[in-house]
């Protein structure tokens, strides 16, 4: 069971990926986590990736896929995995497919957590993060007991720069330009499944679980 999670930033695909991984007993694989692990362990691939990251450059697709394939070749991925944050573009998807094809493997499902832009802007601009402990709240959905104060440690709650409306809109533009074409790509391959991401988190999870079953 090899699953790719798709969806705009703030659609909740990371949360769903973790829940799916837990329920079905497969690893949740985030490319960011793999890079950090390889760099920390000082692997050959990690050292190569670090050269690009230190210069503020994107890690090339071929190297990213190499690191990804190195991760999915590990024993815990024998029963499948959930990919979160990769692929982000059509070229990345093509490189991944070509690499999997050589192993006689393929992606089983590309799950798109569908949320309209206006919902995402509202969702993200309502987030508040604690400056002290990093706990997150939402002014509508998970409000703190006392406005502007963290329930956990009493620290100040702030609107992070990357949750500000103009930043979210810029991120959505990049998503629509680069990542949304993946929805058509996986639809043509017959593996795309879309779920309504505007409903309550558990309902989204139930929809995805029903697809995977």
88: annotated active-site residue: yes
123: annotated active-site residue: no
127: annotated active-site residue: yes
Could you tell me how many residues make up the chain? 213
Q: Which of 13, 71, 123, 128 is catalytic?
A: 13
160: annotated active-site residue: yes
Per the omega criterion (within 30 degrees of 0), is the bond before 60 cis?
A: no
Q: Which of 66, 71, 123, 127 is catalytic?
A: 127
Q: Which of 2, 88, 123, 193 is catalytic?
A: 88
Q: Which of 36, 50, 164, 171 is catalytic?
A: 171
Distance from C-alpha of 97 to C-alpha of 108, rounded to nearest angstrom: 11
Q: Which of 51, 132, 160, 203 is catalytic?
A: 160
Which residues belong to the active site? 13, 88, 127, 160, 171
């Amino acid at each position: 069971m090899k699953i790719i999670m798709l969806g705009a930033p703030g659609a909740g695909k990371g949360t769903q990926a973790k829940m799916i991984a837990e329920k079905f007993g497969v690893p949740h694989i985030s490319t960011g986590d793999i890079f950090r692990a390889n760099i920390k362990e000082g692997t050959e691939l990690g050292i190569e990736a670090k050269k690009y990251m230190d210069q503020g450059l994107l890690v090339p697709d071929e190297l990213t896929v190499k690191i990804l394939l190195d991760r999915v070749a590990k024993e815990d991925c024998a029963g499948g995995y959930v990919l979160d944050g990769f692929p982000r573009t059509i070229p990345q998807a093509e490189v991944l497919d070509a690499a999997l094809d050589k192993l006689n493997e393929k992606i089983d499902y590309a799950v798109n957590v569908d949320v309209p832009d206006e919902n995402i802007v509202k969702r993200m601009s309502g987030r508040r993060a604690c400056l002290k402990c990093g706990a997150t709240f939402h002014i509508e959905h998970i409000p703190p007991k006392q406005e502007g104060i963290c329930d956990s440690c009493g620290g100040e709650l702030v609107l992070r720069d990357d949750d500000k409306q103009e930043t979210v809109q810029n991120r959505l533009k990049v998503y629509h330009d680069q990542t949304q074409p993946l929805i058509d790509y996986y639809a043509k391959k017959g593996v795309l499944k879309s779920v309504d991401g505007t409903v309550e988190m558990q309902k989204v999870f139930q929809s995805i679980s029903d697809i995977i079953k």
